[in-house]
């Protein structure tokens, strides 16, 4: 597997830096092997809408499979022409060897690509499909969670009990708290950490080492909070939204930063439900499952399930919290819901006076220069202090 | 002599405008970008300076823009095409008109810029990353018809029955043109159909941003009166086309260079890599 580069430009404590480098440089391969050698059952899953808490309560290691440009293709036919790059990259990675490391795979029906992917994967191994069709009430989703818990318990021999779920919820709540502490530093002017680096850290949470990640993220956030504030001229503050951008697919974030803007917040399926989370519940098993179901179906900013009006509201809240000057909307080629939602979201934001740039791209590098032109123009527009009065010359 | 240079290094053509401190055009010209746009840009600026009786030491501030803005390794600052074009278009507004929408068809990009009353860029849109609705599309079809780009504009107005070109893809549209020729269709009718195809494609882009008058049309293909007329018809508005539409973005870059110098920016003396 090709090595990924993990470098920070902000003052990161050595322990935290080493943690992220070790975990991510081989995209979690070494960590997976260690976990398996320690007797852990690693279960791959798609969509952050699935709570890590359920896997942890069942004694499994949840390893997220939604993939960002893992950079290799297995021999043989690709998934389909014009596949969703997230699903295609995951498919390639599984076929290139990752599948052998996993006990089983959980897939949600959060989009057509993933639903059909489950079909293909089923022929090759143990797959559990969860019905999260848009509009399903949380009460119904609880039944899905219960089914998942029982299925996981068969694999791990660890039944999900009230006490174990409470423990798992606490563990993940601490992780989310650490992430919120880190992301609060992005509200600073200038932000204490670059957007592409914060995104890398946030995505690393889904490699399944929740306790290790929490310790590293806390160290990082504490160090950045104490570090002297960087003094540099203000840059436009950009919010990224649309289809998720998953590390190491940092093409757009890097281009936005190279063009002279700061990315201060992302409104992706995996992000805002964490950033705006309420306290973890105590109580009976079912009540805790219901809380996890509500978080999944009511709070997740998935392009497929979230109505555009709710998305506009979520983005507008983040716009004021993070003092955003412009929005970049990411359309991942192959993701029809993200494409359909782009126009109404952009219109609503523009009407509210927020500049929006819509960009369609995938994981290939062929469009870097055309994208750069568009992004530089957008950042230039955000930077313009106010145009000078023209002096008529005549046509 | 204090001079301010704007270079718009496009995929097809490199444009350069030299202004004096009164913002008067001292020299301006266009050259094909060729395979080495850096060499082209340096050579073009050197030629214009020579014609102006000046040297590189007289350039107080130079700005590059366009696809080759970085590759050229020339000048003191890089600005985006949108900023440069908007500045140029506002400057070229005829008396009594305020340009609020700029349509620019370039070699590989077409773009629409929306400006507010004060001339600030408030929105813009660019074509998909394909040649449909760009100058390259016209170039490919002209080659197929064995015509110069200038001939397209003239032939347009002699068309009797405008034909429909269905494909937006440049390669497939070329095949369609070959079929029409084989059917014995008249070249002017094909030309008018090609212009309609560009106008429809660009028209969609303009409508995505919104049409607010006055609308300026610039970029190389704006010299083609057939495209201008068809696009005006598609949008139902009058289009302002400057005398040298291809130079609007380079002029904008040069105007920004003047403004930077006035605000105290001081560029290092530039060096031109021109082999003799």
pLDDT tens figures, A206-227 = 998 999 999 999 999 999 999 9
Chain B residue with CA closest to A381: the answer is: B121
- Report whether pLDDT(A307) > 90: no
Reported as a pLDDT band with limits 50, 70 and 90, residue B240 is very high
What pLDDT shows up at residue A392? 36
Are A387 and B123 a contacting pair at CB < 8 A?
Answer: no
Chain B residue nearest residue A387, CA to CA: B120
- The span from the CA of B228 to the CA of B241, in Å, is 8
- Whether residues B78 and B139 share a domain: the answer is no
**Minimum distance, in Å, between the CA of residue B263 and any CA atom of chain A:** 13
Q: Please report, rounded to a whole number, the percentage of residues in chain B having pLDDT higher than 90.
A: 63
Please tell me which of the candidates B82, B93, B115 has its beta carbon nearest to residue A377.
B82
Nearest by CB to B91, which of A355, A373, A393?
Answer: A393
- What is the pLDDT averaged over residues A19-34? 89
Predicted local distance difference test score (pLDDT) of residue A27: 83
The minimal CB distance from B83 to the residues A367, A384, A393 is found for A384
Task: Report the residue of chain B nearest A393, measured CA to CA.
Answer: B92
User: Do B236 and B101 share a structural domain?
Assistant: yes
| Domain span including residue B271 | 1-92+247-276
Do B40 and B130 have their domain in common? no
Q: How far apart are the first and last CA of chain B?
A: 24
Q: In chain B, whose CA is at the least distance from the CA of A377?
A: B80
pLDDT at residue A387 in the model: 38
Q: Are residues B102 and B183 in the same domain?
A: yes
Q: What is the mean pLDDT of residues B109-122?
A: 92
Looking at CA atoms only, how far is residue B67 from chain A in angstroms? Answer: 8
For residue A346, what pLDDT is reported?
93
Which of A360, A380, A392 lies at the smallest CB-CB distance from B82? A380
Across chain B, what does the average pLDDT equal?
91
How far apart are the CA of A83 and the nearest CA of chain B, in angstroms?
19
Q: What Å distances lie between residue B46 and B18, B74, B255, CA to CA?
A: 11, 12, 19
Rounded Cα–Cα distance for residues B32 and A28 (Å): 50
Degrees to nearest 5, angle at CA B44 with B42 and B50: 100
Report percent pLDDT > 90 for chain A: 53
- Whether this model's ipTM surpasses 0.90 comes out as no
* Terminal C-alpha separation, chain A: 59
Q: What is the pLDDT of residue A28?
A: 87
What is the C-alpha to C-alpha distance for residues A302 and A280, in angstroms, rounded to an integer? 22
pLDDT at A76: 54
A355 vs B86, B94, B123: nearest CB: B123
Q: What is the DSSP letter of B117?
A: T
Count CB atoms within 10 A of the CB of residue B35: 7
Check whether residue B139 and residue B261 sit in a common domain: no
Question: Do the beta carbons of residue B67 and residue B9 sit within 8 Å?
Answer: yes
Candidates B120, B121, B242; nearest CB to A395: B242
- In this structure, the answer to whether residues B100 and B213 fall within a common structural domain is yes
* Least Cα separation, residue A379 to chain B (angstroms): 9
Eight-class DSSP state of A6: -
pLDDT at A276: 67
Residue A306, pLDDT score: 80
Smallest Cα distance from A381 to chain B, Å: 6
The reply to whether residue B79 touches residue A380, judged by beta carbons under 8 angstroms, is: yes
Q: Does A10 or B231 have the greater pLDDT score?
A: B231
B160 and B72 co-located in one domain: no
How wide is the angle at C-alpha B227 spanned by C-alphas B224 and B228, nearest 5°?
A: 85
Which residues does chain A have within 8 Å of residue B85's beta carbon, measured at their own beta carbons? none
| Nearest-CB residue to A393 (from B92, B122, B259) | B92
A49-63, A124-138, A292-306, B143-157, range with the lowest pLDDT: A292-306
pLDDT value of residue A363: 87
**Within its chain, how far is the Cα of A33 from the centroid?**
23
**Is 70 exceeded by the pLDDT of residue A328?**
yes
Q: Are residues B51 and B62 in the same domain?
A: yes
Residue B182 has pLDDT above 80, yes or no: yes
Q: Read off the CATH number of the domain in which B183 is found.
A: 3.30.420.40
pLDDT score for A395: 37
Quick one: A211 exposed, middle or buried, by C-beta within 10 A (0-12, 13-18, 19+)? Answer: exposed
Structural domains of chain A sorted by starting position, each given as residue range(s) with its CATH number in brackets: 31-383 (3.40.50.11900)
Whether A390 sits inside 8 A of B124 (CB atoms) is no
**pLDDT tops 50 at residue A391:** no
Contact B94 A392 (CB under 8 A): yes
Best of B11, B82, B130, B223 to disrupt the A interface by mutation (most A CBs within 10 Å)?
Answer: B82
Helices (H), A295-367: 308-321, 336-351
Give chain A positions within 8 Å (CB) of B86.
387
Please indicate, yes or no, whether residues B223 and B263 belong to a single structural domain of this protein: no
pLDDT reported for residue A3: 64
Q: Is residue A78's pLDDT more than 70?
A: no
Pick from A97-101, B20-24, B259-263: least confident: A97-101
Is the CB of A386 less than 8 angstroms away from the CB of B121? no
Number of folded domains that form chain B: 2
Q: What is the pLDDT of residue B5?
A: 95
* Cβ–Cβ pairs < 8 A, chains A and B: 74
Subunit contact B93:A376, Cβ cutoff 8 A = no
Interface test with A, best of B80, B88, B115 (most A CBs within 10 A): B80
pLDDT digits (tens, 9 = 90+) for A100-152: 889 999 999 888 889 999 998 988 789 999 998 888 899 999 999 999 999 99
Q: Is the pLDDT of residue A278 over 80?
A: no
Which chain A residues touch B92 with a CB distance below 8 Å? Answer: 393-395
Q: What is the mean pLDDT of residues A183-207?
A: 93
> What is the distance in angstroms between the Cα of A366 and the nearest Cα belonging to chain B?
10
Closest-CA distance, B82 to chain A, in angstroms, reads 6
Q: Pick A45 or B73 by higher pLDDT.
A: A45
Q: Chain B: nearest CA to A393, how far in angstroms?
A: 5
Contact B119 A369 (CB under 8 A): no
β-strands B239-240, B215-218 pairing: parallel
- A73: pLDDT confidence band, cut at 50, 70 and 90? low
Instruction: Please tell me the predicted confidence (pLDDT) of residue A308.
Output: 85
Spell out which chain A residues touch chain B, with contact meaning CB-CB distance below 8 angstroms. Answer: 350, 355, 360, 367, 369-370, 373-374, 376-381, 384, 386-395
Q: Which of B23, B121, B259 sits opposite A384 (nearest CB)?
A: B121
Q: Say which residues have a Cβ less than 8 Å from residue B36's Cβ, sequence separation at least 6.
A: none
Residues B66 and B192 in one domain: no
Q: What is the pLDDT of residues A280-302, one digit of tens each?
A: 777 899 999 999 998 888 777 78
Q: What is the model's pLDDT at position B149? A: 81
Please judge whether A381 and B83 are an interchain contact, meaning their C-beta atoms are less than 8 angstroms apart.
Answer: yes
Does B222 share its domain with B104?
Answer: yes
Name the residue among A367, A376, A387 with its Cβ closest to that of B80: A376
- Answer whether B95 sits within 8 Å of A394, measured CB to CB: yes
A141 close to A296: Cβ distance less than 8 angstroms = yes
* B167/B124 same-domain check: yes
The arithmetic mean of pLDDT across residues B185-196, rounded, is 92
**How confident is the model at residue B211, as a pLDDT?**
94
């Amino acid at each position: 597997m090709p090595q990924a580069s993990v470098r920070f430009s902000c003052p990161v404590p050595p322990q935290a830096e080493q943690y992220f480098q070790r975990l991510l440089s081989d995209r979690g391969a070494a960590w997976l092997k260690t976990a398996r050698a320690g007797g852990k059952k690693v279960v791959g899953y798609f969509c952050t809408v699935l709570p890590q808490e359920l896997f942890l309560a069942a004694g499994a290691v949840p390893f997220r499979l939604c993939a960002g440009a893992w950079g290799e293709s297995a021999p043989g036919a690709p998934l389909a022409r014009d596949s969703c790059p997230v699903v295609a990259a995951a498919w390639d990675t599984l076929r290139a060897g990752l599948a052998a490391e996993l006990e089983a795979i959980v897939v949600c029906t959060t989009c057509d690509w993933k639903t059909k992917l489950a079909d293909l994967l089923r022929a090759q191994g143990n797959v559990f499909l969860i019905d999260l069709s848009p509009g399903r009430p949380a009460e119904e989703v609880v039944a899905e969670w219960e089914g998942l818990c029982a299925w996981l318990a068969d694999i791990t021999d660890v039944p999900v009990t009230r006490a174990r779920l409470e423990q798992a919820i606490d563990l993940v709540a601490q992780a989310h708290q650490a992430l919120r502490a880190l992301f609060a530093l992005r509200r600073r002017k200038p932000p204490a950490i670059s957007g592409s680096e914060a995104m890398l850290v946030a995505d690393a949470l889904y490699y399944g080492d929740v306790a290790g990640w929490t310790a590293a993220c806390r160290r990082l956030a504490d160090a950045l909070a104490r570090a002297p504030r960087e003094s540099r001229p203000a840059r436009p503050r950009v919010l990224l939204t649309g289809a998720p951008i998953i590390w190491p697919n940092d093409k757009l974030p890097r281009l936005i930063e190279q063009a002279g803007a700061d990315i201060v917040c992302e409104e992706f399926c995996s992000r805002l439900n964490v950033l705006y989370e309420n306290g973890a519940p105590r109580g009976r098993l079912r009540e805790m499952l219901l809380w996890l179901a509500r978080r999944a179906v009511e709070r997740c900013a998935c392009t497929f399930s979230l109505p555009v009006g709710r998305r506009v509201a979520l983005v507008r809240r983040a716009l004021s919290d993070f003092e955003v000057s412009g929005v970049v909307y990411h359309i991942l080629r192959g993701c029809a819901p993200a494409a359909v939602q782009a126009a109404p979201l952009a219109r609503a934001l523009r009407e509210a006076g927020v500049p929006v740039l819509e960009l369609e791209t995938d994981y290939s590098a062929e469009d870097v220069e055309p994208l750069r032109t568009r992004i530089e123009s957008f950042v230039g527009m955000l930077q313009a202090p106010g145009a000078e009065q023209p002096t008529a010359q005549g046509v | 002599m204090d001079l301010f240079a704007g270079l718009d290094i496009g995929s097809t053509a490199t444009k350069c405008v030299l202004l004096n401190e009164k913002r008067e055009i001292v020299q301006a010209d266009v050259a094909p970008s060729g395979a080495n746009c850096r060499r082209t840009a340096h050579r073009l600026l050197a030629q214009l300076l020579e014609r102006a009786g000046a040297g590189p030491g007289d350039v107080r501030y130079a700005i590059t823009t366009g696809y080759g803005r970085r590759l050229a390794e020339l000048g003191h600052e890089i600005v985006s095409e949108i900023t440069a074009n908007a500045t140029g278009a506002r400057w070229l507004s005829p008396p009594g008109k305020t340009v609020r929408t700029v349509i620019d068809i370039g070699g590989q990009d077409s773009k629409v810029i929306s400006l507010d009353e004060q001339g600030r860029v408030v929105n813009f849109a660019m074509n998909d990353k394909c040649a449909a609705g760009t100058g390259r599309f016209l170039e490919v079809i002209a080659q197929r018809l064995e015509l110069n780009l200038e001939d397209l504009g003239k032939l347009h107005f002699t068309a009797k029955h405008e034909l429909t070109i269905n494909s937006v893809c440049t390669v497939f549209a070329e095949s369609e043109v070959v079929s029409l020729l084989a059917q014995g269709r008249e070249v002017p009718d094909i030309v008018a159909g090609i212009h309609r195809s560009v106008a429809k494609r660009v028209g969609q882009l303009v409508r995505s941003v919104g049409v607010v008058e006055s609308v300026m049309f610039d970029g190389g293909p704006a010299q083609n009166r057939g495209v201008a007329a068809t696009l005006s018809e598609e949008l139902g508005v009058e289009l302002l086309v400057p005398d040298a539409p291809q130079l609007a973005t380079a002029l904008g870059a040069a105007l920004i260079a003047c403004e930077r110098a006035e605000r105290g920016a001081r560029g290092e003396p530039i060096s031109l890599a021109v082999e003799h």
